[in-house]
Structure 1
């Protein structure tokens, strides 16, 4: 921007114009390049003083003095910021450590301009060796020792570890250069040292091991001694004594505790004063352990004790295994073996319980099966104060099958297959169902699931055949056989082939005379729909017959209109329609109706709307009668 100064301007005006041009010159500063220099070099040893120098090459207007903002970054995270008028800036890292290793860069900002240097790696090699100290060197088993591991002057996120030989015993993460920890060490001689590690990006650097400190830990002589009297091999009911003892020197120590443990059960809490006396059972066999404790130090001694059965666990049994209501049954209780050197068989006493209520004091019980006898039974055997129970067994009397019900699935149509179902509301499974027709067994099936149904495929040729079906159910042989009622359901008879008759017979019909059409079917379950069609195939009349156990004819008659009617209606030749229904108490054989022409095909001359005479094949019209099954009625 160019500014022209007039000589007549006052001093104040001149100064204002000068300041304006200075700001404009500053705005025209350009950062050409930024460079980061690591001194003395990019890879140094631990303890070296490192300098990061950020240099900027900037072009600016004459006489301007721009401010430079310097930003330093480590691993792409902000590290340090400062503002100065100098074209270079220094960031110092005195006594560099491995934690200072990383990727560095700097950036220079002038107003809205920001330019960065290239990224440079700084590598600081070497971790110092830590120093291990202990607060005491002589220990007794169970004592704590305080250990200190120090890496003086080390910085960053450090992980300190304490080891006993190859066994690592403690690890801690810290931002400090020192870790203090109480350690609990085992007996004997141990050699403790420490080391630390630091994570740099994806790698972990380990220091050398510290000095090693040897500790001699005195063992506590509190090992317990376990004894069993009279023997570790006993029979149920025998009284034994188990004792746990420790050296008398430590027995007088009030802090000493001794416990007796069998499996996961603490049998006795305090064995320092009294022995443990008990009469064991066979399931008490196993390892018994004396555990002594002084502070946090535990010692143990164990012994196996074998307990022989005085008698075996009693077994409960039912005879017979399956019993129906009303039948007799017997429950027995017995043992398989006993220690003959200790007891006689007669020394064993038995009891039988039903749902925890005594049934009989003895080994045998008889009763009649029924709801009162149903329940869970156990038997108890006892000798020399040893009591054993049998497994709990469920006894439930079976229920005789009830009279079955017979039914069908879906409509029953003559000469079409259908399913017959047979089901009893009561009766213990499995149940055998039989389908019978006129007392002859047609098929049998076994039902073993409460949700399963017995069903049989059947077919009838006449409606009266339906009542010949019955079903039988049994679940205990001939004793339980029950017969259903006869099957009574609605049977649908398909419509027979219709026959069309014309009155008067073809050949005797004169123009202007009445004509009656009769549609006859030999069989079919009502309601039945009849439809009449003209010679052109057009429907001219329909009706539905609801009559039942009778033959049905649908009659349609036609007569020509009067002359006066023809005049009033124009030149039409279409006649009036009259419909008549004729009911016969018995089936009429259409072959017995006399026809003038003794042929199977009957023709009649009907007047069409064009006035022409048309021959109609009535044999073809027979196919238009329809069967309506919407409201079926029974037909025998």
Structure 2
């Protein structure tokens, strides 16, 4: 008993100390599609390496490919296979191939693989000239660019019928082309040239064998010897030991013990031991392998372990008729072991494990009843004679119903929904086991359905018309037969942006009398209410006059009660709604004009000025006339004493009027002086007052006649005197 424990501890310590050991089991090279190919086919050389490891650690190795012992490709990798590809195999690729793996000072080569490629591609031929004279030379060039030199080129000269070869020349070239010169002889009217090629390396002769030399080979170590206790055939539940041993020369050798392709222990000494409390899992092919730097030897045995009892089997029975398990359903788990009598099985302790956690359910007997509350992976475990075995897992999926479904609109940038937008709605369930089927409705009309493994569904609705407004709601259900949930209702209003904003002004001609009222009317042809209206006047900068929101009509007005010159400018209005799109009307020029009553006052004032000016002119005109008559009378009175009877008609010109006739120069001088004074007075009046038409020429005539009568009467007065 104590010996078994010591051996077991020793074996476990040995395993722990050698957990990064490895060995190269084999290396193989294969050709795909085969080792015999036709010129131009694709060739893949696949090198496969089989490693055995103590644990699953990453091993980096170098894999090399050789053709006729010449390295053609190598790569460092952590993979166990590597492929070298020749896209178009040529005849020159014919040869012996092998691959080699090198890792941490250890090497192993595959067997040589012969690959043969047949059917050389026809070479290309060129001539230096197509027309020549008899006696000229023609250079013929032959190329085989797809093959590898050295090559043997054969040049053939034919007559026109290509039946008889007139001349042949052979060239061996270390390049993949060669040239030959041919002379055109007499009578060779039409010649044709052809060439062919052979590969020298593949076509060369083989020499006789040389004399032999003897080489004696010494083995660095013996083939490993393997021993198994208690035997190669036993029943699980007892201790098993495996021992490997070799004899060696003074050379470094590693011994590994493999179970199938897994290294279970290794050692650099001449012996290796492995101890294990055996179960059926320990049954298999065990290989002891001794490996030096270039040589490896191995021996194998097959260990068979019989079962003490088979693995338990876990089954589930659902009392519900629903094929899916609802939360709260009654379930029954049964753990059974075949080949055990019922009286024995009922006395055993079965452990039920959930989600590979702690053994929390213990039951004597085979059955365990429970209420479905959570999904999980269930197992059962049974131990007999220190042998513990676990059943395969049973996945129990419990479907909780969909609850508390909530629908909301995903709003971006505080933007309302307008035609052309994409409406995004989120339908989320607070609880429920996926998969869940979500459906979206507008009113009673079904729009979309989604089957998801998520607790939320996103719906995208293309908004094209105002009728897309309405009450949106989502519904959801899953595999729980009691699940059928409806969400809250979300009211969606599609906002039509404002269109065709027009401004009307009263008066319509844009001319407003000072003090009169200016009326501005802003109208929107289309747009969802409420609409916000703003009235502006532009005087260099834009000045806001009025701001109002209308909930019931698509138009509004604004009055300027007493318009003045300061209100002159370009008027316009701006309309917008919840679509956040503002539209301007056209500009309307408005200016103030003079009021009618002011025009009347100004006209009356001008008329009074004109009348006053006329009166003043007339007054001065008559006054000057009077003064001139008085001077004339004084002169005439002094000289007319002796000439009162010789009166003649005197024509006196005053303005446009001529009066009587003048008897002497003194009378003419008096009249002329009077006219000059009157003219001067008229010029003065013209500079100070507005010129008006003189309506009183007859008055002047009467005054002149009166003056003449007075002059005529003056002598009589003098005579009386």
Q: Which has the higher helix share?
A: 2
Whether TM-score is above 0.5 comes out as no
Q: For the superposition of Structure 1 and Structure 2, which TM-score range results when normalised by the shorter chain? A: 0.3 to 0.5
Q: TM-score, normalised by structure 1?
A: 0.40
Q: TM-score, normalised by structure 2?
A: 0.36
Q: Which has the larger radius of gyration?
A: 2
